[in-house]
Amino acid sequence: MGTRFKPVDRDQPLLLPYDLKEWLPANHIVHFTIEAAAMVPVSRFVVNERGSGDEQYHPHMLLALLLYCYSHGTFSSRRIEKATWSDVAVRYICANQHPDHDTICSFRVRNKAAVSEAFLRILMLAKEMKVLKLGTVSVDGSRIKANASIHKSIRYDRARELEQELKLEIDRLLTRAESEDKVKDERGDEVNAELERLTELKAKMRVAQEEIEKRARDRAELERREYEKKVRDRNDRNGRSKGTSIREPKEGPVDTEQANLTDAESRIMRRNNRSEYFQGYNAQAVVDAEGTMLVVAGRVTNNSSDADELAVDTAAIPAVLGKPRTVLADRGYASEKPVRAVQGQEITVLVPVTKETDHAARRHDFRPRKDPRPPSGDKPYQLQWVRLMAEVMGTDEAKKFYRLRKQSVEPVFGIVKQILGFRQFLLRGLEKVDLEWELVLCAYNLKRLAVLRG
């Protein structure tokens, strides 16, 4: 008896059009995405209120489109546009409409307030569902590549030299162009093109210098405040000072400071001491450590170090969610001023202040053993808050709480980078990058809450 197959006739027209709902199961995340986008009031969106021109795409549809695509690893506006034709779920969200990539990108950039509102509404929904109970949170940061190359960075001293060289070249080119009266038209076009290129490059050198100078002024202002505070403290002690003398802040930029010509607000950083340097940003996340793994706050900074970010990250938690009881962070956040600021809000901070020895970290390490370092409490010159924190972290209760950090915040970054595939920002500038990171975290929370709700 011969093998039988079902016929495949792709040229057979349909008698009646399909209902796209029949192509998607009832528990598909696309339905939850549409509901979450609809929770944001229309007043939070930037729309054309004059009503001129063509009809606008509905903001709820565009927001649901972004949230769904980001939760499934599609971040480029051009790829999102293609998905409106090829992806059934995306086609269902758009109701068979096809916004172009320019519309999608413009909507994304202009509607930071709506994305923030969606982020908050999803967390409030989790709280209403009794899923999110803000008690213990974990804080961590990850360095993510910027949409700029490290090879487009230039030092302050080199930018000044190039500006002078370009100025001389432009002057010579103008002089030669004026003296050559019998130059052909095509030759004149070449001179104009070269002049335009050199002028544009000279302007970039000027912008790079201004960025570094602005950065130096801001730094000098902060250092000036610290200097004046130390001087006042010394005067209060009748001129008696302990330790080294107080150094005045340095004015002006350092020659080795660099600025990127593509994204001036990005910085050169690396993920750890064993990785390479790259142009990027420091993405922060505050995660619920009591089982849900929902991100309750997120922000982006261009500081490569996490030392000054603990208090700012904790303050970024929406007030309507409440205040956490305990904050967990790794050793990179061990800085006295931010830690005391968080503790001043009656929040317990658990952060290691000593570095584990190789033998303690890895029992069966392939590398040669090093002599174990003495505990921090044995150092008489160590700060008081460091000794107190070391004593707290040595207790069994603190060790039990601190284990939650690796189980909560680190998997979030792993999911964002490995599962969603978000490893590089597409937008440029600190404000736009912060928007993009919040959109990624909002999509992650949406996907996570859909699992918890199910």
H-run or E-run covering 415: none
- For the record, the structure tokens of 3 come out as 């093998």
- pLDDT string in tens for the chain (454-residue length): 578 888 888 888 877 777 888 889 988 999 999 999 999 999 999 887 766 667 889 999 999 999 999 999 999 999 999 999 999 999 999 999 999 999 999 999 999 999 999 999 999 999 999 999 888 999 999 999 999 999 999 998 898 999 899 989 888 888 877 776 544 444 556 778 888 888 888 888 988 898 888 888 888 887 787 777 777 776 666 555 554 567 777 777 888 888 999 999 999 999 888 889 999 999 999 999 988 999 999 999 999 999 999 999 999 999 999 999 999 999 999 999 999 999 999 999 999 987 754 445 556 667 776 665 554 444 544 578 888 898 999 899 999 889 999 999 999 999 999 999 999 999 999 999 999 999 999 999 999 999 988 7
Distance CA 369, CA 259 (A): 41
* pLDDT for residue 242: 53
* pLDDT for residue 356: 57
Taking the CA of residue 270 as centre, how many other CA atoms within 13 Å lie in the half-sphere pointing to its CB?
Answer: 6
Among candidate residues 381, 391, 313, 311, the one with its CA nearest the CA of residue 353: 391
- For the record, the structure tokens of 38 come out as 């609809």
Helix (H, G, I), strand (E, B) or coil at 330: coil
289-303: pLDDT as tens digits: 988 999 999 999 999
Bridge-partner residues for 324, per DSSP?
A: none
Tell me which fold the domain 129-149+276-364+371-438 belongs to: Nucleotidyltransferase; domain 5 (3.30.420)
265-317: pLDDT as tens digits: 999 999 888 889 999 999 999 999 988 999 999 999 999 999 999 999 999 99
Distance CA 294, CA 281 (A): 22
DSSP for 162-202, written as a single string:
HHHHHHHHHHHHHHHHHH-TT--HHHHHHHHHHHHHHHHHH
Give the angle subtended at the CA of 286 by the CAs of 123 and 352, to the nearest 5°. Answer: 150
267-269 and 278-288: which strand pairing? antiparallel
User: Which residues have a Cβ under 8 Å from the Cβ of 424 and sit 6 or more positions away?
Assistant: 144, 145, 146, 147
Among candidate residues 348, 339, 335, the one with its CA nearest the CA of residue 303: 335
Give residue 19's identity as a one-letter amino acid code: D
Cα separation of the two ends of the chain? 47
* pLDDT for residue 188: 59
* pLDDT for residue 187: 57
Contact in structure between 434 and 299 (CB atoms under 8 Å): yes
**Residue 55 DSSP label:** P
Token pair 């460091």 in the structure block, residue: 386
Distance CA 353, CA 376 (A): 8
278-288 and 136-145: which strand pairing? antiparallel
Per-residue CA distances from 162 to 195, 206, 209, 254, 427 (Å)? 15, 10, 11, 17, 28
Domain ranges of the chain: 20-110, 129-149+276-364+371-438, 151-260
pTM of the model: 0.85
